[in-house]
Chains A and B, each alone.
Chain A
Amino acid sequence: MIKFNHVFKIYEKNIKALEDINFSISKGEFVFLTGPSGAGKTTILNLLYREDIPDMGSVFVNNEDISHISDRKLPFYRRNIGFVFQDFKLLFDRTVFDNIALPLVITKTEKKFIKNKVEEYINKTGLCGKEKLTPWHLSGGEKQKVAIARAFITNPSLILADEPTGNLDDESSWEIIKMFEEVNKEGTTILFATHNKELLQKMNKRVIRLNKGKVISDESI
């Protein structure tokens, strides 16, 4: 599903964000990406999102070199990916309902379908009764649940998560992890960046460790 082939990313002043990164992830895998701050976790996610392109090497998603996706086709590529970030990235002037519905609204989906779908995910994430609130009135955990519902609602084949539990207390973190596990059981590939060691040990999944832009280990714990 995902293949990094000798990927280099160098920022200005010769800062090597990534150096010769090689790994593959199969369809349906749940993989953690870990390492200290600045190790290159976010850069890898940005490359997968086509926010950035590698300076050398290639990134394949579904056997397609994503560096070559044209600007015109880029939005359609991104519709196959769900994202969840540490800082939620919600639209604060819209309701919970509108935030979750966003990926469907931009594809001009039928209204009734959107309503049913959003209600389904509001139930799944336990946000019942909060549909009409704006994110200002939600706790950190609830905000992240909105972001998760938004990422999951299109049934993407790949979900990228960048420290989604970073701002949350333990209880909310576990609730959220459970949601990722569930969607993974349904076949969605997940790449989950975190430096929460406890999480890595308890989850018992494949872990790719990064340090200073290099892969230092890739193993199942």
Chain B
Amino acid sequence: MKVFKEVFLNFKKSGFMNLISVGTIAITIIILGSYFIANLAVNHFLSRVENKIEIVVFLKDGFAAEKMKNTITELESLNEIEDVKFISKYDAYQEFVKDKEILTILQSFESNPLPDSIKIKLKEYTPKNIDKIINILKSKEGIEEIQYGGKEIENLLNILNVIKIIMIVIGIIFIISSLLVVSNIIKLTIYARRQDIYIFKMVGATNFFIKMPFILEGIIHGFFGGIIGWVILYVIINILLTEIKKETGLDFTGFYVFTPSFFSLKFLIETIIAGILLGFFGSLLSLGNIKEK
């Protein structure tokens, strides 16, 4: 418990410095948190877009469904494919008649005008995967038409992938820069206590004994920085959402990442852990060269 006494003394000695350190971590948490939320929102949007994309194959009327079975099993065995679903003309009819307007149109036909079809979902929508599947399908008999959105989808997918890569790069830059800021702040507190560190070394304290209080200090700073960062982030987002609602009438509170449950205990714990890790690695970084005086 001696070590906590050391930490307490460090706090007392470098009061203002503590505020700067906690503040820096809080700001970092706000930036990382906003980034995290933005990243989740983008990913959520991306996966929704991707989920909407599917390849639909319409079969020639009168072509026996049994003959299609081989093609379906072949497709199912491919790595790129998530799901293959055969939809008979009867199933399609049942689906469409749920809509009353379409029902009246369909009832004007003597028989069911809808074709048999196959819906294909891919694991990953890359232009290469789409091309491969299209080429396989084109070689098969009994296919009337293949729909997949064509070039537009491919372009959209390419843009989405670039966005993902940019988000990852920005995230890495944020983490590195915040680590450097935190470690430099802790370096300053070490500098403020260099005379004491010198005395500790003179009386024969081990490096571990000397470093431990600083590491704990970093962790404690991270803890408080994480909590403060979370609170500020929560307030900012709530103010933003109410302002947007007031100005434009748009209500985003129902949108995935902005739901109250998202700012739950889990997110709070995550921000605290992020803060603690920042403080911990920040202090480790700055203590690296404590040996050289």
Contact = CB atoms under 8 A, between A and B. Distances in A.
Interface of A: 49, 71, 75-79, 83, 89-91, 93-94, 102-103, 105-107, 150
Given A78-B204, A83-B202, 15 more contacts: A49-B202, A71-B291, A75-B201, A75-B204, A75-B206, A76-B204, A77-B204, A79-B203, A89-B202, A91-B196, A94-B9, A102-B199, A102-B203, A105-B2, A106-B200
B205 interface: yes
B12 interface: yes
Nearest to B206: A75
A78 B209 contact: no
24 contacts: A71-B207, A71-B291, A75-B201, A75-B204, A75-B205, A75-B207, A77-B204, A78-B203, A78-B204, A79-B203, A83-B202, A89-B198, A89-B202, A90-B199, A91-B199, A93-B12, A102-B199, A102-B203, A103-B203, A103-B204, A106-B205, A106-B206, A106-B209, A150-B203
Interface string B268-293: 00000000000000000000000100
B68 to A, nearest CB: 74
Nearest to B10: A93
B164 interface: no
A106 B202 contact: no
Interface string B1-24: 010000001001100000000000
Interface residues of B, dominant DSSP: helix
A106 B199 contact: no
A148 B115 CA distance: 100
Interface of B: 2, 9, 12-13, 195-196, 198-207, 209, 291
B9, B12, B201, B202: most-surrounded residue (chain A CB, <10 A): B202
Contacts of B13: 93
B198, B199, B203: most-surrounded residue (chain A CB, <10 A): B203
A78 B202 contact: yes
Give the top 5 A-B pairs by smallest Cβ distance, nearest first. Answer: A79-B204, A78-B204, A106-B205, A103-B203, A75-B204
A138 B291 CA distance: 32
A150 B291 CA distance: 23
Given A93-B13, A105-B2, A78 B199 contact: no
Contacts of A91: 196, 199
Given A91-B196, A93-B9, A93-B13, A78 B201 contact: yes
Contacts of A102: 199-200, 203
Contact of B203 (A71, A77, A106): A106
Contacts of A90: 199
Contacts of B291: 71
A199 B235 CA distance: 71
A7 to B, nearest CB: 21
A150 to B, nearest CB: 7
Contacts of B196: 91
Contacts of B195: 89
A77 B203 CA distance: 10
Contacts of A150: 203
Contacts of B198: 89
B206 A89 contact: no
Contacts of A77: 204
Contacts of B200: 102, 106
Nearest to B203: A103
B287 to A, nearest CB: 14
A102 B206 CA distance: 13
Contacts of A106: 200, 203-206, 209
